[in-house]
Amino acid sequence: MANPRHSRPVRRRAAVQDLEFRVLSPWKTLDEQGFYEGTPCHRGHSIRDKEKHWCYHCVQMIQSGICGVDFNYMEYQYRTKLYHFLNEVLEESGMTVADTDKCWLPTAKSGWPRKTVNYDSWKTHFHAKGHDYREKLPKVMYTLFHGDIGKMSVTRTCGNKQCLNPLHLTSSWNFLHLPTKFDYLHLELDQSKMSTFDARNALGIRVNKLLVESHRIKIKASAEIVQETDETPDPLLKTIDWNTLKNNQS
């Protein structure tokens, strides 16, 4: 399980006990800090944790409570595949992105609940191109809307094992914030925006700046996140050993 808001304290502790988010220092090498430069996630970030392979910048967004998607600000190798994936899920479940409170349930008759998606992932860095990297639908949906968490797991807050609503999906990194709405949505492909993203990406200007400028969202600095964990009033999270987590982030 990976639900940090589970009703049972032991499950909540288990969901966050392995988290080791570190503030990235420019004065040390990635290797010294337990990171490496790997396969870019769908947003173009490439700094990953050496053990669990989560994306550093995606985790920052998750801990900022941000949930959304813009297909135009996406790496080209993911863009078309994930675009069709989302539209097929909505069609199979009979839902729209406006149905934020409902479970998105592809019918069992269609075979979608057992389906997997083949796409580039952190595994691409370690294996030859062309390998069949298949991932289950909940993990793909969580990655698309929340961020790339590498080999870490995803579960549902609604308890429905077939649900694919991204607002019902959670991982251990959501221990501070569980989004209840989409912060930004741009589901149509815009050639102008895609060209802007590709050009800026080639210059090393990552998607975080484009998201902030275009969608007016706030990606919190790591120091803000650390402070917020110290001050959280949430009684569900009081069972967590915050001192251990804070030491891991320093």
Per the model's pLDDT, the better-predicted residue between 20 and 140 turns out to be 140
Categorize the per-residue pLDDT at 68 as very low, low, confident or very high, splitting at 50, 70 and 90: very high
Q: What is the mean pLDDT of residues 131-158?
A: 88
Is the confidence at residue 179, as pLDDT, over 70? yes
Specify the range with the lowest mean pLDDT, choosing from 139-153, 183-197, 208-222.
208-222
C-beta separation of 55 from 61 below 8 A: no
Give the model's pLDDT for residue 130: 53
CA nearest 65: which of 183, 212, 179, 208?
Answer: 179
Give the model's pLDDT for residue 139: 93
Task: Domain ranges for the chain, please list them.
Answer: 9-249
Residue 152: φ, ψ to 5°: -75, 160
Give the model's pLDDT for residue 140: 93
C-beta separation of 167 from 1 below 8 A: no
pLDDT digits over 98-123, tens only?
999 999 998 766 667 678 888 778 87
Who contacts 205 (Cβ-Cβ below 8 Å, separation ≥6)?
A: none
What does the alpha-carbon distance between residue 19 and residue 61 come to, in Å, rounded to a whole number? 15
Is the confidence at residue 70, as pLDDT, over 70? yes
Is the confidence at residue 227, as pLDDT, over 80? no
Per the model's pLDDT, the better-predicted residue between 128 and 218 turns out to be 218
Give the model's pLDDT for residue 82: 92
Mean of the per-residue pLDDT values for the chain?
A: 80
What does the alpha-carbon distance between residue 49 and residue 33 come to, in Å, rounded to a whole number? 9
pLDDT digits over 192-215, tens only?
888 888 887 777 777 777 777 777
What does the alpha-carbon distance between residue 180 and residue 185 come to, in Å, rounded to a whole number? 14
Is the confidence at residue 40, as pLDDT, over 60? yes
Per the model's pLDDT, the better-predicted residue between 246 and 14 turns out to be 14
Give the model's pLDDT for residue 103: 94
Give the model's pLDDT for residue 159: 84
| % of the chain residues with pLDDT over 90 | 29
Give the model's pLDDT for residue 117: 81
186, with CB counted inside 10 A (0-12, 13-18, 19+), is: middle
SS3 155: strand
Is the confidence at residue 240, as pLDDT, over 60? no
